[in-house]
Amino acid sequence: MMTENQEMLDEEYQVGFVEEQDQEEVVKKQEVFQACSYHWDEFKQDLSTETRVIFMETVQTTLEQASSYTANFSNQVLKILLLFNQYSYDLKLCADLKSQEQQFLMLV
């Protein structure tokens, strides 16, 4: 049985075929992500206190690790983009250097 809040959320996240005038509203609705709509309080009532604590610590640790991984990954992407912004690459020059390197190795 759905609660009023859940029905409102379902209506809010529904996106279908819309006219051009409603495009901005659709974009706003599409920006919201809902990963889990289950109420944790209902789930935790059946568990013992020890199990509940262990479960919640595991969820919290997993979320922290996922957030840290995402932050580190985006940091690496930013570094790469800054390197590309700072330097320019000439593919023809790179090919010439590679052929020169191969010629040098043949001589040695």
27 & 66 share domain: no
Q: Which residue do the tokens 């789930």 mark?
A: 43
Dump the DSSP string for 29-40.
HHT---S----H
What domain range is 10 assigned to? 1-37
Structure tokens at 60: 């919290």
Query: To the nearest whole number, what is the mean pLDDT of the chain?
Result: 71
Quote the CA–CA distance of 40 and 59 in Å, as a whole number.
11
Residue 30: pLDDT band (50, 70, 90) is low
Is residue 43 in some structural domain?
no
pTM above 0.85, yes or no: no
Specify whether 106 is located in the same domain as 54. yes
CB 26, CB 15: distance < 8 Å: yes
For 45-59, the pLDDT digits (tens) are: 777 888 888 888 998
Residue 55 lies in a domain: yes
Q: Do 58 and 101 fall into the same domain?
A: yes
Looking at per-residue pLDDT, the higher value among 66 and 27 belongs to 66
